[in-house]
Every structure is written in C-alpha cells, then in structure tokens.
Structure 1
Amino acid sequence: MSHLAPSSSLLVTAANNRILLPLLNLLNVVVVLSFSPFSFGLHNLVPLLLNPTELPPPRNLTFKWETPFTLRLTWKKPKDLEPDCSVNYTVNAIPSQDCSEKVITISYTTRVKNTTCKLNIPNVNGLCISVKVNPEECGNKKQSPPLEISIPPPPVRLVKNMSFEYYHDRLKCTWDSDVDVPDLGLYYWLPQKEMVKKCNEMKIGECVINDTFHNKEMFYLFNGTYKGQPVNNTFRQNSSTYFVKLEKPKLTIQRIGQSLCFHTNFTVSEFGAHCYEKNYIYSKCDEIKQVKILDSVYKVDYDSSCKYRARVQIILSSRCGAGKSDLSDEVEYGENRDSNLPALLAGIIIPLMLSCFLIVSLVLLRRHKDIIFPKIPEPTLIFKDMFINNIRTAEDLRSTADGRLYIPIEEIVENKIRFEPETPLIPTKTDMMYKQL
C-alpha cells in the first residue's frame, strides 16, 4: 500500500503544500487502517457513529402541591449515567390524565438543569407529567424515553361553563354548578403577586372582582365542602384583556352629496384608539354587506332607489386583547323603489287622467248643453208653410206646369160671432159725491 503515498504526493506543490499535506496524511492513515488487522475495530466504530444510543430515563418521579396553584416535581438522575456525561431535563405537563399524543391540545413545557421543577398549573382536569433526559455533552447519545406519572383530578367539579367580562378594572366572572356547595368561595391569584385574594362581591353563580389587572394569565380557585370533605378546583385563564366587554355604540346615517356616511359614536376606554375596529353590517336594497375598518366614519355610494339598513359593532383588535360590544340599534335610510317606476306611473296615470277629463267634460256638457248650445226659435207658421209648400219633389220638377201657386193652409176660425150692446155704467155713491163737489 506504500505506492499510494508517492502518487498522492505528486499533487502537492510548493504553493499549497501547507493545506493539502495534512489532508493527504490523514487519507493515507485511513487507507492503511482499512487494510490492516485493526480494520475490524474501524468497521465496528462506523455503526456507532451512525446510530447513537438513547440515554436512560430518570427515576423516582414524585409530586407535591405546595399551594393550590403550584406543583413541585422531583426525580433522580438516570441510573448508570457516565460521570462525564452532562445532561438537562425536559418537563412536560398535559392537563389530562391521558398521556397519549391524541389528546394533547394544551401543554406546559419547560427545560431545567436540576432534578426538580416547580409549575404553576391548574388541577381541575388532572395532569399527565413526563420528564425526559437531554444530552448536552454526552458523546454519541440522544434523548431518553419519557418517565410519566398521572395526577388525578379533584373528586368533584364544583363549577363549569366559566365566562368573564372585563371593563375598567372590573372583572365579572359567571359560572354554572351541578353540585350544592353552600360555602363555595372564589379566589384569584396572579403569578407576579404572591398574595391570593378573595372575591368579596359573591353571588349565586357570579362574582365581581375589582382590582388592577395585568396583561398576564390569572389563576382561579373555587373551594368548598362537599360531602364533608374540602375540595379545591383550580383554573387557568388568559389575561383579563381577552374578555373585554365594550359599551354598545350608537350609529347615525347622514347624506352628503351622492354618498351616505355612517358615523359611529363610541367612547374610547382604557385602550388606545388603534385597538378598536368598527364592524359595519349594512344592507343596500336587501343585499347584506360587511366591512371592518378602524375609522369611525364609513362612506358608501347613495342610490335613491334603495333602502339602507345599518348596524355597527366595536371589536377589540387582537393586538390589544380580545372582546367586542353588542350590535348597535338598527338605523334605516331611504326606501326601496323600482327604477322603472316613473315610466310605469306615467303609462298608467296619464291615460287615467285623460279618461277622467273626458268623462267630466261629457258630464258638464250634458248638464249645461242649453247654455253651450242654445235653442233656435222655430219660424212662424206662415214661413213654415211656405217652406213646406215650396218643397218640390222630383215629380214636380218633371211636370209641364209653369209653376205652382201658394196654397195657404186652412185655419179654423170660429164662425159664430156675437156682438153685445155696450151697457151704461151705473154711477156709484162715490161718483155722486165727486159730482157734487
């Protein structure tokens, strides 16, 4: 195998011998070892480099509740761990007793150097705790299999269907309950504060917390006595800013030129103006539309043949938290009209008006015909007779007679006429008196 070295040394030049010479020497060593009696050990070393082995799991994992919200975990180092092997530990907690991968929706994971760990975690659903060993400087080793334990939930669930409403340092918590616990109490705790506080404004299914809240998660403790035994239920919720209840806004509609302006009247609370989105829900000719903007005024094109209905809702932006208001009262503007209505009305009203005018004219003409068309007096009998006698028929025109004479119509005259003598007037007493005077 010595012939490989001279052939390789031909590639070395004065310019790059400082770089290539160490590499060629290493190549010669590998080639020599591959054909030497020690090559058996090299072949066994390659699988070890390609297939690292798992570290052993930790031992004796135990837990203890230091407070209703804080869980202390302890364990021991893996057995047969090499002294020069440096490791750390990954702790994972699942809010369920089922440790299978299928049910993992929310988990709490942390990495520690020591063999102890403290977790702020709720207990209401039970817990599955797992600890794994991670290699830091441990040769050809990989992560160990997990060591798991299950922590059972409380014997009874005191409340369910929890909901929250937050407004101006006032957090309203409501819930339902299937069990009768007369001494039920509600406590809350912020991880930044060591003190656990009690909610004093307690009612059935409701409690109002008045405090200065931080934009951090909060823990809640419901405790009471059930069947003679004390029971603690702890819950973990997001920051109170994720349950913001905003005031109901007011909406007005104003027409400006050929546009309609939707104005939102809303009082900005503790968040900045950039945190409030306006969700406009409006309809135009019964066609529903929706738009989200930051401005308090939204303009749409105006159509006089359409009726507009609009409502608005204030939504807290995800950059600032979560929450929304109720929808405002609905505001209407305009009326729905047919665009062909003017032509249709003209085609109906104009003929109807003409018909009415004609009927009225005929009625008035009939009523006042004597004034409008006065009667012409008839001619006297003489002229009438003359007209009648002067009418010639076709036979008369063919007659050879020179002409026709006027033949008057006979008039009936009373033939017995009697004259009576004039009677002298008999003087009266009054006449006699005048004569004497």
Structure 2
Amino acid sequence: MCRFWDLTLMICFSVSVMFVGGDNMTELPPPKNLTFIWETPFRLSLTWEKPEDLDHSCRVNYTVHVYSSQDCSGKSNSKRVQTLGCKLEVPNENGLCISVITNPENCEQRRNSQPMNISIAPPSVMLVKNRSNEYSHSKMKCTWIPVVDVQDLSLYYWLPRDESIKKCTPDKTIKTRGCIIHDKSLKEAMNIFYLFNGTYNGTSVSNAFKDERPVDYVKLNKPQLTIHRDEQKLLFQANGSDLDEFTKECYTYQYTISNCNKKETTLDIKSQHEVQYDPACKYRARVQVIFSKNCGEGSSDPSDEVEYGEDNDPKLPALLAVIIIPLIVSLCLLVSLVLLRRHKDIIFPKIPEPSLLFKDMLINNIRTPEELQSPAAGRLYIPFEEVVESRISLEPDTPFVPTMKNEAK
C-alpha cells in the first residue's frame, strides 16, 4: 500500500515539474533584417542576420517557409538551413510570402521564435493564361492564350540542372500561340521553369511559372485496335506507334467493350486482351493507352471504334420457323385455290353426254335373270327402230289440159 502511494506521489511530482519547467521556457528572438534579391527570374536569394540577445552557447538553425501568395497561410514549402541565408528556386506567379523561424538546437529552456515575414508582390501584368504542355520523345509542346496584346512576347525555359536559360522557338504549325522545346534533358528533369517576357505599354514585363517534371505531361499517339477470333475467344490487339520511349511497364491499356447492350471498361497491362466470344452479340470496342503513374502521367486519345459480329437472337431461327412456315403454307394454299377456281375448265374439262346409240347399248346389255336362263341370252344387239315422221304426200299424175278461153265463145 505504501509503495502505491509513493509511486503516485512521484508521478504527480514529475508532472508538476514538467508544467513548471514549461512555463519557464522562453521564445528565441526571430532573425533580423530579412532581405531578398532575384538572381534570375527563377532563383531568389534570401538573407538575414543572427537574432539579438542570443547566448553564445545557444546553437540555432532556421526554417524557411515559402507560400505561393502574399498571405503567409495555407500550404507551404519548407526548408531548414544552418546558415544565415538560402537560395530558393521559385517562380513569382501570384506573389510570394516568405517566413523565417529561429529553432533551438541545444539552448536550454528556449523554444521556437515567432516568424519573420517578408511579402513579394506579383507581376504588374499577367501576360498569358490557360497554359498546357504535352511531352513525347524529348519534345515538349507548350501552348497558351495571350491575356494582353504583346507583340514581342517570347517564351524561355530553364531546367535546374542547367545553368543557362534557353529560348523556345515559336512553331508556325501550331494554330494557337505555342512552341516546341527540343531538349534531351527533358526526360530526366524533375522540374521545368518557364519565363514569358514582353513589352506592355512601353514597360518590360515578365511572368515566371514552374511546372512538374515533363514526364507528367506525356501525350501518346492515338492507337489502332484490331479484333480477331480464336475459336471461342475474341482477341483485342492495341497497336501504338510511339510506345518505344519507355519500358513496357510504363504503359497500360484501357479497353472499353460493349456487347449485347452491356458496356465494360477493363485496364490491362498487356496490349492484347481476350474475352469469351458470344456469337449472338455484336462487339464494339475502343482502347486508350494510359501512361503508368509509376513512370509519370498522361494518356492517348481513345482509338476509333471497331465492330465485330452481328446482334442475333439464338431463339430467332426457331421462332421464325414457327411463324413463317405456316404463313407460307397458308399463302400457297390460297394461291392454289385462286388458280384452281380460275382455270377449273382446263384442269377439270366437261365430259359430253353420250349419244342415243351408247345409251341404247347400255340399256340393251342389261340382262334380267330370265334372260340369263334363255338360250337367246347371247343374242346380238338389236337396235331399236327409229320412228321418223314423214309428212310427204303423193298426188296422182294428171295431164295438163290447157284452158282455152276462145272455146266458150
């Protein structure tokens, strides 16, 4: 029990000592006379003096915070140095705010100082907007839209590994304002800086910009897609014309395949993709080459759509047979009846009635039972006598006696 109370008292004492000691800590003084100078449009030289009232035994270092605005708030890039100055590779696009803080190394009962800030105004005129970059095979295509009318507007670029600033020659083939940088160092560069320089209202104006590494703006050519059938599988083959600058692991292929009103998007590390083939479906497919994030960023435009097969219903033949065959039979029967009605006299000609002779032969050949027992059963056919009416009358012959009128006299 005593040990428990002793341990509790020790903990309370230690905590109280920490709080008391913390209250006795004082801030270090900030650095003095913070100044800057632009050595180049992209390199800022920052200097300051050692803080006042600093013990000789107290060793300190400094933390420099750089904000991309005139307000020292938000996200910043930090850098810790031991000297009374540093050089910063930073563009002045929207103005800058730089803050320097004194940090203790072996100073007892001392903590960080308050920041010493300095503000840098942005350029008086913004020359361009909507900048875009496209990298491919040691070439960087840069385009922009002018904000103000500057006749002598020029673009310069600088890579941190180089000492000199180089000019980008305008390209007349680009419809909008732009130029193409040809430099073998682009592929390995970690950053690239741009400087637009021109004369506006009689005053020289410049705008500096900083972009990420060029391989973060990779633009690949539009691939071509072909479709082949291999037994029960359908093979999709993507063919690119500029996939030789980086290793195969840097390229991925996004296939968009639709069949039977179903759409599916698949990401594949291979240029060939296969699916099970359904003969009842029509396939429509596109492919897009994506530059892997392990190597950079970028992509190509989607390929033209390629089609394969036709949309068919597997039950359609049986359904058509059930519907069409009875319909055809009914139609044929109807046509036959119409033709039969129209040509019945030809198909079924009229048989003429037999003459009296044939009727008589049939009647006389009918034998009664009595006639069968008569020896005259085998008599020949005796035709009936035909009665012919005669209306001819004969008159006796009388001589012709002429009458004489003169005899009376």
TM-score (norm 2): 0.80
Does 285-294 or 52-61 show the bigger shift?
Answer: 52-61
Is the alpha carbon distance of 1:257 and 1:417 closer, same or farther for their aligned partners in structure 2, counting shifts above 3 Å?
A: farther
1:55 shift after superposition: 2.1
- Asked if 1:58 corresponds to 2:31, the answer is yes
Q: Which amino acid aligns with 2:272?
A: V
- Number of aligned residue pairs: give it: 361
- SS of 2:179's partner is strand
Q: Which amino acid aligns with 1:187?
A: Y
- Mapped to 2, the partners of 1:312 and 1:409 lie a distance apart of 109
Match of 1:145 in 2: 114
1:253·1:263 contact (CA, 8 Å) conserved in 2? yes
- Mapped to 2, the partners of 1:411 and 1:290 lie a distance apart of 110
- Mapped to 1, the partners of 2:37 and 2:385 lie a distance apart of 152
- SS of 1:362's partner is helix
Match of 1:226 in 2: 200
Match of 1:279 in 2: 254
- SS of 2:321's partner is helix
- SS of 1:223's partner is strand
- Mapped to 2, the partners of 1:177 and 1:135 lie a distance apart of 49
Match of 1:91 in 2: 64
Is the alpha carbon distance of 1:367 and 1:43 closer, same or farther for their aligned partners in structure 2, counting shifts above 3 Å?
A: closer
2:159·2:189 contact (CA, 8 Å) conserved in 1? no
Q: Which amino acid aligns with 2:310?
A: E
Match of 1:169 in 2: 138
- SS of 1:201's partner is coil
1:97 shift after superposition: 1.1
1:409 shift after superposition: 12
Q: What percentage of aligned pairs have identical amino acids?
A: 53
TM-score (norm 1): 0.75
- Asked if 1:310 corresponds to 2:288, the answer is no
- Asked if 1:199 corresponds to 2:168, the answer is yes
Listed as ranges, the matches of 1:230-379 within 5 Å are 230-267=204-241, 268-366=243-341, 369=344, 373=348, 375-379=350-354
- Mapped to 2, the partners of 1:318 and 1:302 lie a distance apart of 32
Match of 1:112 in 2: 81
- SS of 2:311's partner is coil
Segments of structure 1 that go 5 or more residues without pairing to the other structure are 1-6, 9-23, 35-41, 389-407, 419-437
CA RMSD in angstroms comes to: 3.0
1:201·1:209 contact (CA, 8 Å) conserved in 2? no
- Mapped to 1, the partners of 2:358 and 2:15 lie a distance apart of 160
Q: Which amino acid aligns with 1:310?
A: A
1:245·1:325 contact (CA, 8 Å) conserved in 2? yes
Match of 2:190 in 1: 216
Is the alpha carbon distance of 1:417 and 1:280 closer, same or farther for their aligned partners in structure 2, counting shifts above 3 Å?
A: farther
2:194·2:209 contact (CA, 8 Å) conserved in 1? yes
Is the alpha carbon distance of 1:380 and 1:202 closer, same or farther for their aligned partners in structure 2, counting shifts above 3 Å?
A: closer
The Cα offsets for residues 338-377 of structure 1, whole Å up to 9 and x where unpaired, read as 3432232122101111112212433454466556545444
- Mapped to 1, the partners of 2:361 and 2:18 lie a distance apart of 158
Q: Which amino acid aligns with 2:295?
A: C
Is the alpha carbon distance of 1:342 and 1:409 closer, same or farther for their aligned partners in structure 2, counting shifts above 3 Å?
A: farther
1:383 shift after superposition: 6.3
